[in-house]
Homo-oligomer: A and B are copies of this chain.
Amino acid sequence: VFLTLMSLFDPGDEVLVPSPRWGTFTSQLTMLGARAVTVDTSRTEFLPTVEQLAAARTSRTRGVLLNTPHNPTGAVYPAELLADIADWAGRHGLWLVLDECYGDLVFAPARHVHPVQRVRDCVERVVTIGSFSKSFAVTGWRVGYLYGPRPVIDAAARFQTHLTSHAPSVLQYALVPAARGAADDFVCTTVALLEQRLALADKELADVRWLSHRRPGGAFYLFLDCSQVIGRRYGERVLDTGADLAALLLDEAGVAVVAGSAFGVDDHLRLSLTADEERLRTALARMKEVLGRVE
């Protein structure tokens, strides 16, 4: 992502980023002297509308940075929306940067599509970022890829030469079979497992006080709305923010969740579904117990 942003944007440029967003998006733009202009999607099911993007556009806007399936909300952009955004971005000469790291992890009926499937012309204005990390459970390997117009990819490669040279060669070789499809079964199994965990979490969270969530269309997180907890108390502790609740769950339930503030929204928590069912069940039971004592 950094190499792409470095290749496309200059200091002073503005880039539209739907919020909640992965915090690194805004940090990377800041590191480059560019500015992330966030577009609040918390009232539009975590999907931006073209009208919202248009309202945020200024003469300095150079691009839109989208992530679908979305971390942390699990939102999957519908094909029509992506096509509309690509169309709009194209009309205004904006780059569309698309992070589809979780593209393989989608739960029916949601479907991950690339905007070029609908809007052929956008191929010259879209740079797409993928990763082996999530599909093949190798998050620690740090191997991903880019595709897009040749000049952008060439520029990114030149920057990469001076930053990290390349992704480790030994890991690139190790991933060749996966890139050729040898691990597609593994991906199917992973999606099925995640769907089971989602069902479990839906069931266990149904009667947990104060928390609610929207079923994710993809990725492997639950983005829990904890706005009803804000301002309440747990014994001596006052839960003024989502971060206070995250700290409480860590201390009292031994469950680590990420406070929504990391994504630009304070009244949510991100719960990961990467632990196995038994651990997930235990974690949810403990969360329930602790939340039961919130007054």
Residues of A within 8 A of B (CB): 2, 6, 24, 27-28, 31, 33, 140-143, 159, 161-171
Contact = CB atoms under 8 A, between A and B. Distances in A.
Contact of A164 (B31, B159, B164, B170): B164
A164 B144 CA distance: 10
A292 B28 CA distance: 54
Main secondary structure of the interface of A (DSSP, over half): helix
Given A171-B170, A171-B171, A28 B162 contact: yes
Nearest to A31: B162
7 contacts: A2-B162, A6-B31, A31-B162, A140-B166, A142-B164, A163-B163, A171-B171
Number of copies: 2
Nearest to A159: B31
Contacts of A163: 2, 28, 163
Nearest to A174: B170
Nearest to A133: B165
Contacts of A168: 140-143, 168, 171
A27 B165 CA distance: 13
Specify which of A159, A163, A165 lies most central, judged by the most chain B CB atoms within 10 Å of its CB.
A163
Contacts of A27: 162
A117 to B, nearest CB: 30
Nearest to A163: B2
A140 B170 contact: yes
A161 B31 contact: no
Contacts of A171: 168, 170-171
Contacts of A33: 33
Nearest to A6: B31
A235 B161 CA distance: 36
B159 A141 contact: no
